[in-house]
Structure 1
Amino acid sequence: MEFLNLIKNDSWLAPFEKVIAGRHQYTIEKENVLTNSGSHSLASFATGYLYFGLHKVSDGWVFREWAPNATCIYLIGTCNGWQKDPAYKLNNIGSGVWEIFIPEHALHHGDLYKLWIEWNGGAGERIPAWCRRVVQDTESKIFSAQVWNPSVPYVFKNKKFVPSKSPLLIYECHIGMSTSKETVGSYTEFRENILPRIHKAGYNAIQIMAIQEHPYYGSFGYHVSSFFAASSRFGTPEELKELIDTAHSYGIAVIMDIVHSHAVKNETEGLGRFDGTTHQYFHEGDRREHPAWDSLCFDYGKNEVLHFLLSNCKFWLDEYKFDGFRFDGVTSMLYYSHGLGEAFSSYADYYNGNQDGDAIAYLTLANRLIHEVNPHAITIAEEVSGMPGLAVLPEDGGYGFDYRMAMNIPDFWIKMIKEKKDEDWHPSAIWWETTNRRKDEKTISYAESHDQALVGDKTIIFRLIDAAMYWHMQVNDHNMVVERGIALHKMIRLVTASTINGGYLNFMGNEFGHPEWIDFPREGNGWSHKYARRQWDLVDNMDLKYHYLGDFDKEMLAAITSIKNFEKTPLEKLWDSDADQTLAYKRKDLIFVFNFSPTRSYSDYGILAPKGEYEVILNSDSLKFGGFGLTDDSIRHFTHFDPLYKKEKKEWLKLYIPARTAMVLRKVKPVKS
């Protein structure tokens, strides 16, 4: 049996070699089935969107749908008064596939349509599973598919865009709530108003949520109904394409938050009982419904489901030029238990028979497909259990993601803020949590994402400052609670971002300490959009303190990207003292120094560092970042010789480090004569 590199890199996995190799072999066998033993590629297999759905052809329209349990299907819509017209009856052409040819004059751009599907014992209206455009009537709130064939289709200008990944700096965002108005934002508004902000801030990627059509806005896009339709509540397909094209012109990659872990239960809008059966796309029996999410679970063991989902991956890459995906809910996919109630306290928990081999095969094949279609694509796993190999190449025994989310880090920060007194913030624990990861897997580190901003939870800034944000954020208002919160907010972000081994993520607005949670319009809040928006005027107002945090975030990213391939540089701890609450580490020519003590400032504090001259390039206590300005950052610092450390080529770097302060120093290169 092949000894996979995943196991070579981690000897603790050796007892589970048979299981790991078995999963690897199962994926190979599944791929052989889908590609007819390699007679064609995964990319050519995953082209269902070019066959199914509605397509304009030279002399009319052709529509196809897979509905194996159906006994009769009609296309109904504005073209025939929403009636069962024999002229619009589909033909069963075998293998559960239905087809109809429609004359060119019968359908027009903008027409609405659905399917009327009949089966033994019932019938119902359905939105086609493969449709690319779904709209909601403003009065009746009913969703329908829409014929989309604009006279001037969008043509991408940036055809050879390659994402920058050194490091990957992700701005997680939601189109609808990106506006400052109490309404739903649009693709166009985001392109015109928000993309320039993101570019100016220094991020090189955006991760967009809620793109796939979903009936309920408040689901944050996680209860998907139409997997091939870009949400029309934000605008048209052309407007989304222009947004992506414009992002590419800025050098910004566009990652889609894709939901293949479950689907909405709705039957009229979604796939819940599409052809009259409950198991066309989903599991039967106890496995059909997700016990925590009120949604349906795909059956990844069915080749037709794999065809649907893999085609969905390729569609978004091909049609919209997305640069990759963040896969949501991977933990739920990996385990029969969906990870609920699991401790994951030992390696045995990953190989104890509770794992869904079909889901593992799907995720591996999805990654292989995505990178086959676009070798520069980015794939990220949102996974909490710590399953080994997620971000390891399939040929090495892994599942093929480029990155995995470091979901332990935001949980750690919440626990620290909630449960620890400032005097008990131990740098050794901070170092451990921000650097504790598998050596053979790249991660996306983050202090908080959208999860920590949802109603019922609190953002970091809100946990630190709370109600004082409403009264003491004027620049001339000196409030101890606010000053503490601003100082720690900067330090938390800097230590998280500077210890990465892959990338860093921030949720929209959190970089400047957006003051309130996210609460989408719902019956419980009177369908208000007040908390489903971003108040950009706060960071733009120089009389308020929010801009201090935004300015620091920008300079922090600039410091990190000043080092080529920063995320790949060795991370070397130079000093830590839980007693003093100090921490220092280096990456190439940069030294990061932290003093988490709330009360103690240190003069001539010694840190062992490589010999040389150093300049301060970032100081969280600077006046321009809302600090106290207690140090003169124009002064250069020289190391002091100590014979005890001569062999290590290190000397004492002595600094004044104010309380609750972080500094970044850069080694000054000698001038060549």
Structure 2
Amino acid sequence: MAEKAMEPYEIGELDHYLYGQGNHYEIYKKLGAHLVQKGKKKGVYFAVWAPHAKSVSVVGDFNDWDMEANPMERGEPLGIYTCFVPGVKENELYKYCIETCSGEYIFKADPYANYAELRPGTASKVTDLSRLKWTDQTWMENRKKWDHKKAPMSVYEAHIGSWKRHPGREDEGFYSYREFAKEAAAYLKDMGYTHIELIGIAEHPFDGSWGYQVTGYYAPTSRYGTPEDFAWMINHFHKNKIGVILDWVPAHFPRDAHGLADFDGTATYEYADPRQGEHPDWGTKIFDYGKNEVRNFLISNALFWIEKFHVDGLRVDAVASMLYLDYGKQDGQWIANKYGENKNLEAIDFFKHLNSVVLGRNPGALMIAEESTAWPMVTGDVEHDGLGFSLKWNMGWMHDFTEYMKLDPYFRKDNHNLMTFAMSYAYSENYILVLSHDEVVHLKCSMINKMPGLGFDKYANLKAGYAFMMGHAGKKLLFMGQEFAQLREWSEERELDWYLLAEKEHLAIQNWVRDLLHLYKQNKALYEMDQDWRGFEWINADDGYRSIFSFVRHSEDGKKNLLFVCNFTPMERADYRVGVPKRKQYKLVLNSDDEKYGGTGEERPVVYKAVKKECDGRPYSFAYKLPPYGVAVFEF
């Protein structure tokens, strides 16, 4: 007998097969709640995966939360429950009432919902994503040709709820997605950033988790508006030539009763054995990467943000916690793999699948790993047993850099290698240098308050550090507020201290960062050979006694190169001589002693001619008056 004709939104045998194989990359178009028309009736088609449930019904505003009003039909072989409820309209709240094997009734938010009730409410909300409007076609076409290895990439990491707030409002005063987009896009363009990375976007119940404990993987948080508002924000950034990266958390999820934990009364999304399925330190659940439906949930989610919402990349959080079975665990709290090792073979396989699909389908998109160990080939090709990421956060550089910068200048001569070591492994991965939110919370101090000394010394130290970072090989990321030397640690509970810009020291740091960013964007030498040893050359990596670093960044065509000289002590070097590669003229293009950067404003020559005089093991050199904590950048 012929199978009855199916509506396009209904879940059929092919959907079950692909989802069961872990290859239904657009399953979000079928699972969840979708406004449809069935015959002459308009309503919502609900679909949820609950393999071990005895029964499932959908409850909500539309049926007075009656558990018996709208039972769902079980589809085999996977246990996907579906039903059509006529008359349900947009913005109505709903949940799934799941009868577990033990006969208990639990109420769960929809794992595939695209919108959620504002916390403390925990229900899902019916919404229609078919209305999203896009005018960023030029950006999306150009993205296909974009090569992150050859392009400038300076990222502003931001949290919408604490960037700026409306004062005096009864609610928290959050900026909406649209308000944030307008102000932030103008600010980023002025400062010279190429990308914004947003934390805390997927729906989460607790503000203090900063969005790293997610309950709504397919829903932009309702704190700042609707999914349409979120799409408007992305579109606006793109119109202003700013790429958008989202933090993405496939490592773990919280235990909240309405979330994914024990979804159908059993370990549905997580490993069943607590030694595999729980993070003791974080109190969270670990996804079961061996289950095809769970892998599908996550891979489809990555594609959802990149394809449905035009997001340009995902920064994947806590990659190390996924790769190591014993991450954050004591003996007896974890189970070795079949070879007796601590590698999570299922997570490794998941990453290879994820990155191959996401980057294969979306040329020019980015997958960025926050991986804190020396795991090999994180950005290596999957074909050669790499994990296939586009970029890796350089946590080693970050740690060494912050340790050095915190030192009293007197002790820096004995720790000179902290600043040079990263270049010994700089080409082992495609790196991005990061000074992220993690470095300015939990009593770690803001960047300015990590600096030793008082007054002038603190600000001059920070200027030298930022210049060194901008000259070093690798893409760049800086967390919001650090570009103007925010004094207090970051807190999600308040806006940044923008009032500090009324003080000349903070304005000077902002001017310095702005000009560094524009110098970076305008000079190919600073980015096009980040993954090529020919792009970076030490002039003197061993001047530990004076704590001065000098190096050259080369462009591919050799036409416009930059020489950096950075002094990390309060000692003036009235006649500092630097060796140079060629007998050329060297033009001073950035000088930290300029008045607008908080320097003395002393007049000095713009052009310096190299003479035949040996220095730093080179036949040519020139002399320059290097101020305390001075930075000079020369073009040649």
Using the size of structure 1 for normalisation, the TM-score is 0.82
With over 3 angstroms needed to count, the CA separation of the structure-2 counterparts of 1:180 and 1:101, relative to structure 1, is closer
Q: Is the 8 A contact 2:22 2:292 kept in 1?
A: no
Shift of 1:149: 2.8
5 Å-filtered alignment, 1:265-414, equals 265-268=255-258, 270-338=259-327, 353-414=341-402
Q: Is the 8 A contact 1:427 1:581 kept in 2?
A: no
- 2:463 is aligned to 490
Q: Deviations over 1:157-207 (max 9, x none)?
A: 012424563121111111111114463332122112122101111111111
CA distance in 1, matches of 2:192, 2:551: 23
Shift of 1:382: 0.2
Q: Deviations over 1:384-419 (max 9, x none)?
A: 112110011111221111110011223223322445
Q: Is the 8 A contact 2:248 2:315 kept in 1?
A: yes
- 1:585 is aligned to 551
CA distance in 2, matches of 1:571, 1:354: 36
Shift of 1:36: 13
- 2:116 is aligned to 134
With over 3 angstroms needed to count, the CA separation of the structure-2 counterparts of 1:131 and 1:157, relative to structure 1, is same
Partner secondary structure for residue 347 of structure 2? helix
- 2:631 is aligned to 662
- 1:93 is aligned to 75
- 1:8 is aligned to none
Q: Is the 8 A contact 2:580 2:618 kept in 1?
A: no
5 Å-filtered alignment, 1:160-559, equals 160-161=138-139, 162-163=142-143, 165=148, 166-181=151-166, 183=172, 184-268=174-258, 270-338=259-327, 353-425=341-413, 428-446=416-434, 448-464=435-451, 481-501=454-474, 503-520=475-492, 529=493, 532-539=494-501, 541=502, 543-559=503-519
With over 3 angstroms needed to count, the CA separation of the structure-2 counterparts of 1:622 and 1:341, relative to structure 1, is farther
With over 3 angstroms needed to count, the CA separation of the structure-2 counterparts of 1:429 and 1:316, relative to structure 1, is same
Q: Is the 8 A contact 1:331 1:339 kept in 2?
A: no
1:595 aligned onto 2:557: no
- AA aligned to 1:390 is V
1:636 aligned onto 2:610: no
CA distance in 2, matches of 1:248, 1:426: 46
Using the size of structure 2 for normalisation, the TM-score is 0.87
Shift of 1:604: 4.6
With over 3 angstroms needed to count, the CA separation of the structure-2 counterparts of 1:193 and 1:637, relative to structure 1, is same
Q: Deviations over 1:477-516 (max 9, x none)?
A: xxx7121011111111111121123x10010111111121
Q: Residue 74 of structure 1 is aligned with which of 43, 50, 57?
A: 57
Shift of 1:84: 1.9
1:52 aligned onto 2:52: no
Q: Is the 8 A contact 1:46 1:311 kept in 2?
A: yes
Partner secondary structure for residue 237 of structure 2? helix
Q: Is the 8 A contact 1:425 1:596 kept in 2?
A: no
Partner secondary structure for residue 124 of structure 1? strand
- 1:613 is aligned to 585
Q: Is the 8 A contact 2:50 2:268 kept in 1?
A: no
Partner secondary structure for residue 495 of structure 2? coil
- AA aligned to 1:515 is L
Shift of 1:373: 2.2
Partner secondary structure for residue 481 of structure 1? coil
With over 3 angstroms needed to count, the CA separation of the structure-2 counterparts of 1:272 and 1:534, relative to structure 1, is same
- For structure 2, list consecutive stretches of 5 or more residues without a partner in the other structure: 1-13, 332-338, 530-534, 555-560
- 1:573 is aligned to 538
Q: Deviations over 1:310-346 (max 9, x none)?
A: 111111112211011000000000000126689xxxx
CA distance in 2, matches of 1:340, 1:507: 30
Q: Is the 8 A contact 2:312 2:366 kept in 1?
A: yes
- 2:335 is aligned to none
CA distance in 2, matches of 1:35, 1:630: 71
With over 3 angstroms needed to count, the CA separation of the structure-2 counterparts of 1:340 and 1:658, relative to structure 1, is farther
- 1:113 is aligned to 94
Q: Which deviates more from structure 2 when the two are superposed, residues 562-571 or residues 589-598? A: 562-571
- 1:26 is aligned to none
CA distance in 1, matches of 2:329, 2:553: 38
Shift of 1:79: 0.2
Q: Deviations over 1:412-434 (max 9, x none)?
A: 23322445444524684244244
- 1:30 is aligned to none
Partner secondary structure for residue 143 of structure 1? coil
CA distance in 2, matches of 1:304, 1:172: 32
With over 3 angstroms needed to count, the CA separation of the structure-2 counterparts of 1:361 and 1:644, relative to structure 1, is closer
Percent identity reads 25
With over 3 angstroms needed to count, the CA separation of the structure-2 counterparts of 1:274 and 1:326, relative to structure 1, is same
CA distance in 1, matches of 2:154, 2:473: 10
With over 3 angstroms needed to count, the CA separation of the structure-2 counterparts of 1:197 and 1:499, relative to structure 1, is same
CA distance in 2, matches of 1:655, 1:51: 67
CA distance in 1, matches of 2:369, 2:197: 13
CA distance in 1, matches of 2:264, 2:238: 40
Q: Residue 106 of structure 2 is aligned with which of 124, 134, 159?
A: 124
Q: Deviations over 1:28-64 (max 9, x none)?
A: xxxxxx9999x99x99631110110111223332111
Backbone CA RMSD of aligned residues:
2.6
Shift of 1:279: 4.2
Q: Deviations over 1:251-283 (max 9, x none)?
A: 111011000010011122x11121011344434
With over 3 angstroms needed to count, the CA separation of the structure-2 counterparts of 1:572 and 1:36, relative to structure 1, is farther
- AA aligned to 1:206 is I
Q: Which deviates more from structure 2 when the two are superposed, residues 128-137 or residues 313-322? A: 128-137
Shift of 1:643: 7.8
- For structure 1, list consecutive stretches of 5 or more residues without a partner in the other structure: 1-33, 343-350, 466-479, 521-528, 668-673
CA distance in 2, matches of 1:78, 1:552: 54
CA distance in 2, matches of 1:198, 1:315: 26
CA distance in 1, matches of 2:477, 2:550: 23
